Chains A and B, each alone.
Chain A
């Protein structure tokens, strides 16, 4: 991605705050990038996603770590997604992801079906800097047949034939997620949501929205440091309280059940989706 490369390989002062406005954070996401997002339960950056939609940053290659819900459905419904690699997209208790299902059945987006542990393994391969990782299961399925980029090899350590699936490293251009705390250095407290660390390790750039800024340095606090993603991997941070709206966050921020139910209903049709998203964007303009 030439735009990304230019922007982040430029020399920078040694000490700088990585904290920017939400708008500036989203403007760092270029058209056509491969973008990694977390599942609904691990901090999807939805306020940032609305800003992506407002700016019509399109041609995205979405990869979910390992599943998604309303976030992927919003981006697909807004026509901003060229392809999606996922183990599953649904609105959970609220039902099917209407725009995802419509886009796939119409052949409007490329779908790369996966299974959760294969996506975890792909990101882990990228963070280790190795080309692939093996994992059990999957053999003999149409899922495997649908993925020419997944291979079956013989376990090189076994005496007898032991076929095993290998999946390639997944290296996103950008990952985007929401977390509880960051400091001005760009350290981000993710707690036990270690998939966010794996995503950041695997990605060229990492954009994070947070509920609040931590006044000190997260790495100086022995109780917070073990759950902290170091600033080494973090590109930009923006403060966006309630950044997963309308989804709940971390058992602390409740979900907006009314808004989720409205979305599930409206997104059954392209017209209903467009009207609701326009209303939500206008309310935040």
Chain B
């Protein structure tokens, strides 16, 4: 079978969509084009009814009570999966969306914590996603904890990180540490180690991450591109179109 032609965005959306398979509800937050595409793809491929919620996207934002409703929905236990990023992500699953090199003033400022400090504690299947996979991003210890990977002890907690997807690999988070499940085409366990600032274990059946199937690409380039175009015009133009990638 000849290799399919697909963009990195299409590939990562497919990997993220698999990470939320089986959810009844999945949501993508602000400034998250690849997670938004993944949520819609997971819904398109779901064998049973699945709600895909995309912040800022008309018919995929089924809330009428303002921005707070998603957070209330999550605290009620109704939101199964959510995607979160991080300027830094550490080996204990902590994420930093605030900045590095000192606080409040510092060397570099990120946008802010958004809903992370809350949703991380309340959404059972949080999928961490950061395309850049480097020792600068995947660190031993974050400079600022926007949201905590585990605990603290005694705290009410129904959620947390379950998977980490990067531009190079997929990890599972369990027992307070990451386990390498798969590396993307062109990578190896060694190259992942070299690019990762925290220690991790390797799954016995570690393998190459599966590419998108033709059906994934058909959904992404057709109905999903059309649905996302008003919200993410640049992403749709650059990543969700056949034949423009090498």
Residues of A bordering B, CB below 8 Å? 39, 41-42, 65-67, 86-90, 92-93, 96-97, 100-101, 104-107, 110-111, 113-118, 120-121, 124, 135-144, 146, 161-164, 192-198, 248, 251, 257
Closest CB pairs A-B (n = 9): A88-B112, A194-B66, A140-B152, A137-B118, A195-B66, A137-B121, A107-B105, A120-B68, A90-B111
Q: A137-B119, A141-B147 are in contact. Are A87 and B109 (CB under 8 A)?
A: no
Binds A, one of B10-18, B56-64, B131-139, B219-227: B56-64
Cβ contact within 8 Å between A120 and B30: no
A124 → chain B, closest Cβ, in Å?
A: 7
Judge whether B31 is part of the interface by a CB distance below 8 angstroms. yes
Q: Which of B88-146 contact A (CB under 8 A)?
A: 97-99, 103-109, 111-122, 144-146
Q: Which residues of A contact B8 (CB under 8 A)?
A: none
Most chain B C-beta atoms within 10 Å of own C-beta, residue among A67, A107, A161, A198: A67
Total of A-B residue pairs, C-beta within 8 Å: 160
- The smallest beta-carbon distance between B63 and chain A, in angstroms, is 7
A115 to chain B: closest residue by CB: B117
At the interface, yes or no: B214 with Cβ under 8 Å from chain A? no
Give A199's nearest chain B residue, CB to CB. B66
Given A146-B104, A195-B67, 16 extra CB contacts under 8 A: A66-B67, A110-B104, A115-B146, A120-B68, A121-B68, A135-B118, A137-B119, A138-B118, A139-B155, A140-B152, A142-B103, A143-B98, A143-B113, A143-B144, A146-B103, A163-B154
List A contacts of B144 (CB < 8 A): 142-143
Expressed in whole angstroms, the minimum distance between the Cβ of B88 and any Cβ of chain A is 12
In chain A, what residue has the closest Cβ to B75? A136
Interface pair A138/B121, CB less than 8 Å apart = yes
Residue B234 at the A interface, CB < 8 A?
yes
8 Å CB contact of A136 from B30, B106, B113, B118: B118
* Interface pair A89/B233, CB less than 8 Å apart: no
Q: Which residues of the partner chain A approach B198 to less than 8 Å between Cβ atoms?
A: none
Inter-chain CA distance A110–B105, complex, in Å, is 9
Q: Is the CB of B30 within 8 A of A88?
A: yes
* Given A105-B105, A136-B156, A139-B121, A116-B66 contact (CB < 8 Å): no
Name B146's contact: one of A104, A135, A143, A195 (CB within 8 Å).
A143
| A106, B99: Cα distance in complex, Å | 13
Given A105-B106, A139-B121: A120 in contact with B64 (beta carbons within 8 A): no
B50 at the interface (CB under 8 A from A): no
Closest residue of B by beta carbon distance from A144: B117
Contact of B65 among A65, A97, A163, A194 (CB under 8 A): A194
Contact B233 A257 (CB under 8 A): yes
Instruction: Give CA–CA (A141, B106) in the complex, Å.
Output: 18
Contact A140 B148 (CB under 8 A): yes
- Chain A binding surface SS class: mixed
| B67 CB → nearest A CB, Å | 5
Known: A117-B71, A124-B68, A143-B117. A107 touches B146 (CB 8 A): no
Known A140-B151, A193-B66, A251-B58: A117·B111 in contact at CB below 8 Å: no
Q: Which of A92, A105, A161 contacts B31 (CB 8 A)?
A: A92
Given A143-B145, A146-B104, A42-B118 contact (CB < 8 Å)? no
Contact A115 B115 (CB under 8 A): yes
A134 to chain B, nearest CB (A): 11
- Cβ contacts A to B, 6 pairs, < 8 Å: A65-B67, A66-B67, A105-B99, A135-B118, A161-B154, A193-B66
- Chain B residues near A257 (CB-CB < 8 A): 233
- Which residues of chain B from 207 to 222 have a CB within 8 Å of any chain A CB? none
- Smallest CB separation, B116 vs chain A (Å): 7
In the assembled complex, B86 has its CB within 8 A of some CB on chain A: no
- Residue contact A139 to B152, C-beta cutoff 8 Å: yes
Tell me which of B66, B75, B234 contacts A197 (CB under 8 A).
B66
Whether B156 lies near A106 (C-beta < 8 A) is no
**Complex CA distance for A117 and B55, rounded to whole angstroms:** 14
Q: Once the chains bind, are B154 and A120 in contact (CB under 8 Å)?
A: no
Q: Closest approach, in angstroms, between the C-beta of A172 and any C-beta of chain B?
A: 16
Chain A residues closer than 8 Å to B148, beta-carbon distance = 139-141
CB pair A101 B109 closer than 8 Å: yes
- Asked if residues B119 and A88 are in contact (CB atoms below 8 Å), the reply is no
Is B232 on the interface with A (CB-CB < 8 A)? yes
Asked if A113 meets B113 with Cβ closer than 8 Å, knowing A65-B67, A198-B66, the reply is yes
Q: Is the CB of B30 within 8 A of A67?
A: yes
Q: Does B235 contact A (CB under 8 A)?
A: yes
Using Cβ atoms and an 8 Å threshold, which residues of chain B touch A136? 75, 118, 121-122, 156
CB pair A87 B113 closer than 8 Å: yes
How far, in whole Å, are A107 and B107 apart by their CA atoms in the complex?
Answer: 11
Report B-chain residues with C-beta under 8 Å of the C-beta of A104: 99, 104-106, 109
